[in-house]
Chains A and B, each alone.
Chain A
């Protein structure tokens, strides 16, 4: 049964764009070969880390949501552990509330509420 997962990865900032793209597409292919279905990819770009990881203070954040069998996760995480370019990874199982939340956020429903609160604040200020 295909469950929905979400994996967030921090990649070292040392890589050039080409290497970064190649690294990420490598993992996407690994997912696809194991029969996973990518729901959504999200690339945040370079961000400052809150604390240095492996002596690095910034990193590329990459989040991917996918539907997969449960044994795909072990393969994915094994590959992450072997790759030294990956500083840190976190994969989370999504229940229907979360998946629905992410979809809504992507369609801007949740975002709009925050914008309202922002506009409310600006009016107050």
Chain B
């Protein structure tokens, strides 16, 4: 019989397990998303500069709205670009 060592999985068994998503704002207790610091907002937009949806960022609805207003204000003040390629 193949011992445990010889069994080689094609894909690692951990891929299937879904990581429990949590809202980082509730966990860290952050109350307000500041539109002025761009590097924090970079986490919530993708390479083209679009705002990431909630299912990817895992934010709760209240903070996703705060993030989107902050990103829109940052775009107005050209801290973030409206359209970008390979932003990160």
Name A's B-contacting residues (CB within 8 A): 8, 10, 49-51, 53, 61, 63, 88, 90, 92, 97-98, 100-102, 105, 113
Alpha-carbon distance between A113 and B37 when the two chains are bound, in angstroms:
15
Lowest 7 CB-CB distances: which A-B pairs, in order? A50-B81, A101-B32, A49-B78, A50-B78, A97-B31, A98-B32, A97-B32
Number of contacting residues on B, CB 8 A? 16
Alpha-carbon distance between A105 and B81 when the two chains are bound, in angstroms:
25
Name B's A-contacting residues (CB within 8 A): 28, 31-32, 34-36, 73, 75-82, 84
B36 touches A8 (CB 8 A): yes
A51 contacts across to B, CB distance below 8 A: 78, 81-82
A90 touches B73 (CB 8 A): yes
* Main DSSP-derived SS at the B contact region: loop
Most buried by A among B28, B75, B79: B79
* Main DSSP-derived SS at the A contact region: strand
B78 touches A53 (CB 8 A): yes
A101 touches B31 (CB 8 A): yes
Known: A90-B73, A92-B73, A105-B34. A10 touches B28 (CB 8 A): no
B34 contacts across to A, CB distance below 8 A: 101-102, 105
